Amino acid sequence: IIACGPMVPEAMRAAWILRREFGYETRILNLHTLKPIDEAAIIWAARQTGVILTAEEHQIGALAWRVSNVITGSPLLYGQPVITGAIGVKDR
């Protein structure tokens, strides 16, 4: 789960619930800034897990878009399937 700001504690709580109730191991990546974005950390997480979920405290947008661009633009991930998803507030 990739999050920043106030969503980091929420991501940590989600990871705890996923482990306790479903037995899933989850990693949290705390991005302290979107610009510059920590491309190396995102690529490492994608290579290690194969699954990336971004969590935003507002409508899905900047974080999901930036992370997707890093994943799709990295030669280190060519040929490696990476499942991506995003959660945020519903757009009204």
The pTM of this model reads 0.90
Q: How far apart are CA 73 and CA 70, in angstroms?
A: 5
Across the beta sheet with 29-30, the strand order is: 29-30, 2-3, 51-59, 83-89
| First-residue to last-residue Cα distance in the chain | 24
Torsional sign, CA 40, 43, 48, 53: positive
Q: Which domains does the chain have, with CATH numbers?
A: 2-89 (3.40.50.920)
What pLDDT tens digit does each residue of the chain (92 aa) get?
Answer: 999 999 999 999 999 999 999 999 999 999 988 899 999 999 999 999 999 999 999 888 899 999 999 999 999 999 999 999 999 988 77
